[in-house]
Amino acid sequence: MDVRARIGELKRRKNAVILAHNYQLPEVQDAADFVGDSLELSRKAAGLDASTIVFCGVHFMAETAAVLAPGKTVLLPEVEAGCPMSDMINGRELRAWKARYPGLKVVCYVNTSAEVKAESDICCTSSNAVAVVNSLGVDRCLFVPDKNLAAYVARETGKTVIAWDGYCYVHHRFTPRDIEAARASHPQAEVWVHPECPLDVIELADKVLSTGQMVLEARTTSRREVVIGTEKGIIYRLSKENPAVAFFPARESALCAHMKMTTLGKILRALETDTFRVEVPGEMADRARGAIRAMLEIA
C-alpha cells in the first residue's frame, strides 16, 4: 500500500482530518482535506466533527488549533517546524514590555505563541489588523511581534502603533529592487504583496493582500499575469485553482524552511504514532482564546 493510501486508511480509522497551510509542499497540499491560512484552518478545526487534527504548518498554528478546538487531538507532523517570528517574543518579554507602557492595549498577530496571545488584549490577522486596531478606539497601542505589519497598520490607520522588533524573515527580505525587477520581467503583470513586507516594498505594489485575500483575488482577477510577493509556496495553489492566470514569485528565494519540513512520510508517522501532540495548558488556553474571540467579535 502506498503512502497516500495508508494515510487515507488511517484518517478513516482515527476520524482524522489533514489541514495544510498555503505555504506547504505541493504533495502535502494535495493530501490535505483543507488548505488555507493559519486562522482559517484553526477555525475549521474547531468546527469539524473529526477527533484528530493533523496540522501541516508550524507550531503556533497547531497551538491555535488546540486553543480553538479543546478536546480534540492536534498533531504537528514535524516537531521542529517552528516560526522564527513567533519565537522573537515570549510571555515573559511581553509582560515586561507592557509594564513600560501602562494602560496601552496589546494587539498580537496570530503568528504568536499561545502564551503571547494569553498576555494580549486582542489578536489580529494580516487581513484584519487595520480593522482590529481601529476597533480599539484609542490613538496608541502596542503591537507584537511584526514591526512591518505594524508599520503598515500605522500608515493605514493614522494611529501610533508601537511595535516589537520582530519580523518574518521571508517577507523582511523583499526589497524595492525585487519589485522593480519583477515588473521589468513581467511588464503586464499586477503586483500583489503581503503586509508583512517592509513599507518601501508595499508602496511599490498594486495590491497589499494576506494569503487568504490572494486566494480570493486570484479567482476574480482580470489579469493574465500576477507577481506574488509572499512565500512562493502559495503559487502552487494559486496556479492549480486558476490555470488561466500565470503567477510569478517576486523573489525566487522567498521560501520558509520550516514550512517545507512537513512531508507525506511525516504525516503518515503522525497518524501511526499520534505524534507530535500539541497541547496548551487550560488557563493559558482560556486567556489566549479570549484574545482570539475579541478579534472575531469585531472582524
Q: Is the pLDDT of residue 299 over 60?
A: no
- Is the CATH code 3.40.50.300 the one for domain 86-167+285-298? no
Per 3-state DSSP, what percentage of the chain is helix, strand, and coil (rounded to 5)? 45, 15, 35
What is the reported pLDDT for 135? 97
User: Do 86-167+285-298 and 174-253 come out as alike in CATH topology?
Assistant: yes
Question: Which residues, 6 or more positions from 125, have their beta carbon under 8 angstroms from its beta carbon?
Answer: 37, 38, 39, 109, 110, 210, 212, 295, 299
Domain boundaries, the chain: 3-83+259-280, 86-167+285-298, 174-253
pTM of whole model > 0.75?
yes
Q: Is the pLDDT of residue 169 over 60?
A: yes
State the CB neighbour count (10 A cutoff) for residue 18: 25
Q: Is the pLDDT of residue 94 over 80?
A: yes
Helix (H) or strand (E) holding 34: strand 34-36
Of 278, 208, 282, 242, whose CA–CA distance to 42 is shortest? 278
- The set of cell numbers assigned to 54 is 493533523
Separation CA 110–CA 86 (nearest Å): 9
Separation CA 259–CA 83 (nearest Å): 9
Of 182, 85, 142, whose CA–CA distance to 291 is shortest? 142
Separation CA 24–CA 286 (nearest Å): 29
Tens of pLDDT, residue by residue over 187-243, are 999 999 999 999 999 999 999 999 999 999 999 999 999 999 999 999 999 999 999
What is the reported pLDDT for 39? 86
Q: Is the pLDDT of residue 160 over 60?
A: yes
Query: How sure is the predictor about 60, in pLDDT bands with cuts at 50, 70 and 90?
Result: very high
Distance of alpha carbon 97 from its chain centroid, rounded?
Answer: 24
Separation CA 255–CA 173 (nearest Å): 11
Separation CA 154–CA 161 (nearest Å): 6
What is the reported pLDDT for 217? 98
pLDDT, average across residues 36-51:
91
Of 281, 254, 259, 288, whose CA–CA distance to 76 is shortest? 259
C-alpha distance across the termini of the chain, in Å: 45
CATH architecture of 3-83+259-280: 3-Layer(aba) Sandwich (3.40)
> How, if at all, do strands 246-249 and 225-229 pair?
parallel
Tens of pLDDT, residue by residue over 237-270, are 999 999 999 999 999 999 999 999 999 999 999 9
Q: Is the pLDDT of residue 98 over 90?
A: yes
Query: How sure is the predictor about 70, in pLDDT bands with cuts at 50, 70 and 90?
Result: very high
The fold of 174-253 is Rossmann fold (3.40.50)
- The whole-chain average pLDDT of the chain stands at 97
Beta carbons of 196 and 208 less than 8 angstroms apart: no
CA distances from 210 to 8, 131, 193, 284, 299 (A): 31, 14, 8, 28, 15
